[in-house]
Structure 1
């Protein structure tokens, strides 16, 4: 399987995402990424937007390769919530070691 993260933190993020997302959809996304089907993407203000080449599928009446535009938005964590999280993490040093 292709590696989709560059850092341990990225890998942990993917593992967390796998717990809350449809496995078939993630598999399709991995297939698109490793198959060169992502034509372009941008990352700005917590949103990833991409243009993706779809698949021809005569069974469903798709005879021309479709181009899709899709996006994922992740809500930014407020400054106050970051401070709470840092205090909580600092109070549980053993939690940090579990992340590594």
Structure 2
């Protein structure tokens, strides 16, 4: 089972402590982004960044009281790295 809508679908285990049938991904964006940063897989990170936007993803990471400094630093570095480039997300080679 998964929680989400047509644009973003995430596994229930990210929200084990919530009633996922009542979770609004847009209203609870901070919680969703924090959980993806803490427990999500690489494809889930990319999906959340595409859904919320890179700027909102970084804003939540920067201002979160739930994330450790290590998680905030990694998020900042990873979102700006070549490994997070669109060509990596689709599996197509980057054009130089």
- TM-score normalised by the shorter chain: which range applies? under 0.3
Question: Whose Rg is larger?
Answer: 1
Higher relative contact order (CA 8 A, sep 6+): 2
Q: Please, what TM-score do these two structures have when normalized by structure 2?
A: 0.24
Q: Whose helix proportion is higher, 1 or 2?
A: 2
Q: Whose strand proportion is higher, 1 or 2?
A: 1
Q: Please, what TM-score do these two structures have when normalized by structure 1?
A: 0.23
